[in-house]
Structure 1
Amino acid sequence: MTEHSELSGLAGELRAAKVPRRGALIGVGALLVILTNAIMFILPPLLPVIQAQYGLTTVSATMWIFTLLTLGGGAGYILLPRLADVSGDRNASVFASGCLTVGALIPAVGDSYPALLIGSAIMGFGTAAQLLPLGFLRRNLAGEGIVTAVRVLVIATGVGIVVGMIGGGVIVENLSLRTFFCILAAAFAATTIVSFVVIPHSPPAESVGRIGVLGTVWMIAWVAAVLLTLTQGLVWGNAAVIPLIAGVVGGVLWVRVERRSSVAVFDVAMLKSPLVTAASLSVALFGAVNAAFLLLLSTYSQVIPAYLPSKDAYGLGRTALQTGWLMVPFAVMFVVGGKVVDRLVAKGRGASVLVMGALLTAAGLGWLALAHDRPWHYLVGAGVIGLGCSMGYAAGFSIAQMAVSEEKAGMAAGVVGTAMAIGIAFGSALITGVLSASVVPVPGTDIEVAAESLYGTGYWISVGLAMLIVVAVLISRVRNGRRVPAAAS
């Protein structure tokens, strides 16, 4: 009996020795989220520089860089979290970080427009690594794994957004594109090594199953068709209806087939859990609102009033770097929001948090609809919107995580992450369309900017998107008639 106890104790010590230090694991998770979000938001300030350096004659050619980044991200959101469930957290994280490294290295070495397009697609796929900490933190941190994982995701996302926007401004003013991509490749290579060293290999449970290749490829195809329509719709005009129809029809058929599949990409039963579908839709709308706000802020603040006719003059005349600093309150309140609501969500108050987040976001957008011609207007609005969005993201991702066992944490993250990617693309496309409805030519150039009145319109449309979240949650609550179950401690 004593010998058995000693052996059991030794086995326990060996298991404990394999568990990584909490701080190191959280640090790697935060690093992945910050870097991947920074990539997505470092690009807008760089687009004019890219257009000039590579001699691109049209804006649409420049936007293909962002389009491929988005399409790659859509594929990654579907595949990478599920790969973590099936193949292990370390393997998925190292693979994703490796994709980011290769994606940055290609334009650094090639230094050409085609190389940049290829690198953007590969980096876009790797940016889905931001969802992986939801799985490996939950699986390796005892007790409040879900709360910690979601908190890291939300807080690091806010930091990554501002790092990206400020970093883009710094690069525009001080570095060449080639130097930037060299630095980026080195940073991702270091992240790959750290991921391999710190993140433990977690063999998949037998209940997880395997990745259904046909269903996964099919889903990537129809999601890509929808994203392609959203990002290129204005350029293609009526022709954009073709990929849109293909995407919608493909999605409907995919859902019907997946319901009967033994190797479904996503567990349909999870989507039937209380509030999960509403939470996914809410995160998509929060993503749309987030993208809309960033686009409206970035474009208005960088318009130089002196360059426009006096009757049409508007803008703050700020540089890309100065525009990034306007986003600091957004990041600060993202941190606050993530910490304030995680306990409420863990206790099953996710629906209330989604509604509170939506109302705060709508209030911040409504403020900017009325007042957006002074820097301090944006500082106030960014703080309120950042608080509301962080609450919404925290609640949405937590609700999905609490609906599944930890073996399927990646799958749950993939569902919500895919919804977020579509929402971000939709918000960007919608506001781009609004700002293109009426333009003002800049004298002496071929450049056109949006008419000032369209910014107020854009903000009010964004308020409407935020209020749709409230509607979606209320409908779900009425249909389910109960709250979301509390997370297991």
Structure 2
Amino acid sequence: MAHSAEQYDTPVAEQFVPARGRGPLIAVTIVTGFTAAAVTFMLSPLLPVLLRDFQLTVGDVAWVFTALLIGSGVSTILLPRLADVLGDRVATTLGALFLAVGTAVPGVVHTYPALLIGASVMGVGAATGQLGVGVLRRHLPGESVRTAVVVTQFAQASGAGIGLVAGGVALSHISMQQFFLSAMGCYLVVALLAWLVIPSSSRDRTVGFGVGNVVGLVAWMVVLLYGINTAGSEGITSLKAIGFAVAGLAGAGIWAVLEKRSKAPVFDLALLRSGTVARTMLAGLTIGMAIQSVTFLIPFYVQTPHAVGYGLDYDALHTGLILLPYSVVGAVAGIVGGVIAARTRPLAVAGIGAVCHAIAALWLITSMPDASATAFFVAACVYGVGSGMVGVGLFASMQSCVPPSLTGMGTSMVGIIVTISGSLGPAIYSTILQSKSLAAAPGVPAEDRYQLCLLVAGVCDVVVAAICLTARRKAAESTS
């Protein structure tokens, strides 16, 4: 049964089940978020290594990320919903096992098809780190939404930083197969810890899983993401990309109509009547594109051979190191953002983060042509501040609007909208980069294409800042 939007406009009374100890539970939550985030970020600096090791083309490597992204979309739907219905212990353990299996496949079978399969399965476990919000909110007596969100975001930001450099460091000592098998061992240990430490939960009979609803949501999400990523590799005018994108949007519309009538909805669409929820979702739709400007554009720029006229000619390790401040500063900013969110509206924190993103984009635009390593280091720090605050602000905003029993639903709603937006970013950026090449180096984007991409990202940041920072004022006007 749907809940009224008014019910969710104010914080709800939290109900907690007994916990087995504050310290171990927080530690396992940090480890889970840390390791889950690492798998997503460790592949970004390894693009050239994958290309050489598996004898691939650039297009082939792009499909590895497409597989990971599509799997992540499924994960964002499936795992938080399982946590609401079957309990946090089952969902977290299952997510860690997906990560273990995903890394084992390319570790055991060293082929391109195995790499694609492994990336897909890894993606299905990618949302494991987000489950920490529900674990802490439901199992730590007296803990606030802010604490649950801050701890989880800190763990994920830290893991992202390690992931950026782990691949480059590890591959200087071991092979790609050994790297994947070592990761498999880590995730098996995480799965065991999650099962032993996270308390079991009794089945909540009032919350239905809604298999048909979940399958329908996954179906249109996968079709839409496939269409968006096809646009990135084949161009936004590709009939194939347009067809899948239209089919995905049409499926979303049909699913939304059926979801309203469902007795076991995956998302309670009545939540969207809440001004806070609507603004949070709209901000998430645009901020995903802005975040991808860091993880997608910067690695390509810095790994461009300087001989073509720009670029830093970096390898995977150096790329990870120059992006490391993004994650480290983001982890600290997430904590600071949580403190600020406790004293004001969480959306205001997200708005401040979006402003930081816009400043970083402007800094890089003005640093070109021929941006230096220092320029990217400074930008990574400012981007880190922005991402840490945006993450805490959006997730805290949504969690303030749902009861503890629907923590997973709130996590999924933010996660899905950011995933869709995040996949749209590389598609748009790829199209822009391919629109103009250097005359002396066909296939290498002209440097001003990066400036144009950053301008698009900066505009998205400004839109998010406006949505979030005007929330308080408009809310006051509506009640006057």
TM-score normalised according to structure 1 size: 0.89
Match of 1:20 in 2: 20
Partner of 2:113: 114
User: Which of 392, 395, 398 does residue 397 from structure 1 map onto?
Assistant: 395
Correspondence for 2:10: none
8 A contact 1:286–1:389 mirrored in 2: no
Name the structure 2 match of 1:303: 304
Q: 1:97 to 1:420 in 2, by over 3 A?
A: same
RMSD of Structure 2 on Structure 1 (CA): 2.2
Give a deviation string over 1:430-483, Cα, whole Å, max 9, x none. 22222111123776xxx7321111111111111101011133336765765479
1:281 maps to 2:286: no
How far apart, in 2, do the equivalents of 1:426 and 1:177 lie?
29
Aligned to 1:150: 149
User: Post-superposition shift, 1:429?
Assistant: 1.7
- Partners of 2:242 and 2:394 lie apart in 1 by 30
SS of the residue aligned with 2:444?
A: strand
Verify: 1:371 aligned to 2:367, yes or no.
yes
* CA–CA distance in structure 2, aligned partners of residues 76 and 182 of structure 1: 22
Residue 45 (structure 2) aligns with? 45
Structure 1, unaligned runs of 5 or more: 1-15, 484-489
CA contact (8 A) 2:348 2:469 kept: no
Query: What residue in structure 1 maps to residue 323 of structure 2?
Result: 327
Aligned to 2:262: 261
1:198 aligns with 2:197: yes
AA aligned to 1:21 is G
Aligned counterpart, 2:93 = 94
Task: Give, in angstroms, the shift of residue 348 of structure 1.
Answer: 4.5
Which AA in structure 2 matches 1:403? C
Deviations along 1:379-438, one digit per CA (max 9) or x if unpaired, are 211111111121111110011111111111111111111112112211222222221111
Alignment check: 8 A CA contact 1:137 1:149 kept: yes
3-state SS in 2 of match to 1:275: helix
Retained in 2: the 8 A contact 1:275–1:477?
A: no
Q: How does 1:199-214 map to 2 (within 5 A)?
A: 199-207=198-206, 209-214=207-212
Counterpart residue identity of residue 258, structure 2? V
Quick one: which amino acid aligns to residue 99 of structure 2? L
- Once the two structures are superposed, the pairs formed by residues 60-459 of structure 1 within 5 Å of their partners are 60-207=59-206, 209-236=207-234, 237-306=238-307, 308=308, 313-372=309-368, 373-440=371-438, 448-459=443-454
CA contact 1:275–1:473 (8 Å) conserved in 2:
no
Write the deviation string for residues 119-145 of structure 1: whole angstroms up to 9, x where unpaired. Answer: 111110001112110111111112233
Kindly provide the CA deviation profile for residues 67-107 of structure 1, in whole angstroms up to 9, marking residues without a partner as x: 11111110110111010010011111111111111111111
Structure 2 residue ranges without an equivalent (≥5): 1-15
Q: Structure 1 residues 99 and 19 mapped into 2: Cα distance closer, same or farther (>3 Å)?
A: same
Secondary structure, aligned partner of 2:51: helix
* Contact 2:224/2:249, CA 8 A, preserved across alignment: yes
The alignment partner of 1:403 has SS state of coil
Aligned to 2:13: none
Match for 1:182: what amino acid?
Answer: L
Amino acid at match of 2:267: F
Q: Which range moves more in the overlay, 116-125 or 342-351? A: 342-351
Q: 2:456 is matched by which residue type in structure 1?
A: I
Shift of 1:277: 2.0
Distance of 1:393 and 1:333 partners within structure 2 = 13
Distance 1:405 1:190, change over 3 A: same
Equivalent-residue separation in structure 2 for 1:186 and 1:289 (angstroms):
34
In structure 2, distance between residues paired with 1:224 and 1:85: 22
SS of the residue 1:449 aligns to: strand
Aligned to 2:261, the other structure's residue is in SS state coil
CA distance in 2, matches of 1:124, 1:229: 18
The 8 Å contact of residues 286 and 460 in structure 2, kept in 1 or not, is answered as: yes
Separation in 2 of the partners of 1:450 and 1:471?
Answer: 32
Contact 1:65–1:116 (Cα < 8 Å) also in 2: yes
Normalization by structure 2: what TM-score? 0.90
CA distance in 1, matches of 2:232, 2:395: 31
Please give the alpha-carbon distance, in whole angstroms, between the structure 2 residues aligned to 1:212 and 1:481. 38
Aligned residue pairs total 459
